[in-house]
Amino acid sequence: MFVDIAKIHLKAGNGGNGAVSFHREKYIAAGGPDGGDGGKGGDIVFKADSNLSTLADFRYKRKYTAQSGENGGTSRCTGKSAPNLVISVPVGTLVKDAETGRIIADISTDEPVVIAKGGNGGWGNQHFGTATRQIPRFAKSGNPGEELDVTLELKLLADVGLIGFPNVGKSTLVSVVSEAKPKIANYHFTTLTPVLGVVRMDEGSSFVMADIPGLIEGAGEGIGLGHEFLRHVERCRLLLHVIDVSGSEGRDPIDDFEKINHELSVFSEDLTLAPQIVVGNKCDLADESVVAKLQEYFEAKGFKFFPIMAPIAEGTDELINYVASELQKLPPIKIYEAEEKPEVIVDKTRRSFSVRFDGTYYYVEDCDWLMEVMNNVDPDDYESLQYFERVIRECGIIDALERKGCSEGDTVKILDIEFDYVP
Question: Kind of pairing, strands 206-211 and 411-414?
Answer: unpaired
Tell which wins on pLDDT, 87 or 284: 87
Sort 145 into a burial class: Cβ within 10 Å, 0-12 / 13-18 / 19+: buried
Which alpha helices (H) appear in 79-217, and where do they start and end? 170-177
How many whole angstroms separate alpha carbon 137 and alpha carbon 19? 10
Domains and CATH numbers, the chain: 1-154 (2.70.210.12), 160-327 (3.40.50.300), 354-420 (3.30.300.350)
pLDDT for 225 beyond 50: no
pLDDT for 224 beyond 70: no
pLDDT for 124 beyond 80: yes
DSSP 47-94: EEETT----GGGGT--EEEPPPPPPP-STTPPPPPPPPEEEEEETTEE
Return the bridge partners of 148, or none.
Answer: 10
DSSP 7-33: EEEEEPPPPPPPP--B--BTTB----B
The model's pLDDT over 61-101, given as tens digits with 9 standing for 90+, comes to 999 999 999 999 998 999 999 999 999 999 999 999 999 99
pLDDT-derived band at 379 (thresholds 50, 70, 90) equals low
CA atoms within 13 A on the CB side of 282: 16
pLDDT for 169 beyond 50: yes
Sort 127 into a burial class: Cβ within 10 Å, 0-12 / 13-18 / 19+: middle
pTM of the model: 0.71
pLDDT number for residue 187: 45
pLDDT-derived band at 11 (thresholds 50, 70, 90) equals very high
Please provide the average confidence, as pLDDT, over all residues in the chain: 84
How many whole angstroms separate alpha carbon 267 and alpha carbon 3? 20
pLDDT for 59 beyond 50: yes
pLDDT for 303 beyond 80: yes
Query: Is there a contact between 8 and 150 (Cβ–Cβ < 8 Å)?
Result: yes
What lies within 8 Å, CB to CB, of 121 at 6+ separation is 15, 16, 17, 18, 37, 38, 39, 40, 41, 69, 72, 78, 79, 81, 142, 143
Q: Which range has highest mean pLDDT (40-54, 127-141, 390-404)?
A: 40-54
pLDDT number for residue 167: 83
What letter does residue 359 receive in the DSSP assignment? S
What letter does residue 312 receive in the DSSP assignment? G
Query: Is there a contact between 194 and 176 (Cβ–Cβ < 8 Å)?
Result: no
When pLDDT is averaged across residues 370-389 and rounded to a whole number, the result is 71
Alpha-carbon radius of gyration of the chain? 32
Q: Give the range among 13-22, 162-171, 224-233, 253-262 with minimum mean pLDDT.
A: 224-233
pLDDT-derived band at 381 (thresholds 50, 70, 90) equals low
The strand ranges marked E within 245-330 are: 276-281, 304-307
DSSP 224-262: TTTHHHHGGGTT-SEEEEEEETT-TTS--HHHHHHHHHH
pLDDT number for residue 182: 54
